[in-house]
Amino acid sequence: MSLSDPIADMLTRIRNAARINKKQVNIKASNICEGISAVLKKEGYIEDYDRIDDSRQGILRITLKYDHDGHSIINEIARTSKPGRRVYSSVDKLPRVLAGMGIAIVSTSKGVMSDRSCREAKVGGEILCTVS
């Protein structure tokens, strides 16, 4: 089965796993998904991620993060730019998710970054998703 949008598949798997309080979720590995996982880890939305090599594409195993009451740290994760409609933004027009309480994950010429990192580096790009 070919996967036309690996980012949407990744976000859906994370969203579904967080709803049923799973500790880990497995995702087909790709460089863009690994970049998104790195941003989520850096910003504190997930505990960790590992790349597991198999004989094919590889697997990303993401360990989700929960608060002391057992609620997921990720309340909402939504795809912004889609294969049929790409959304690009300059650095001065990057969205502020929940007035700065959430993040936007952006694919830039310098790699995958959060909106805060993009503002510091003064670089814009394609807005992949928003997390709150």
The C-alpha atoms of residue 97 and residue 130 are separated, in whole angstroms, by 7
Is pTM beyond 0.85? Reply is yes
Domains of the chain plus CATH, in order, are: 6-131 (3.30.1490.10)
Note the pLDDT tens digit of each residue in 1-60.
457 899 999 999 999 999 999 999 999 999 999 999 999 999 999 999 999 999 999 999
Q: List, in sequence order, every residue forming a beta bridge with 10; answer none if it has no partner.
A: none
pLDDT recorded at residue 1: 44
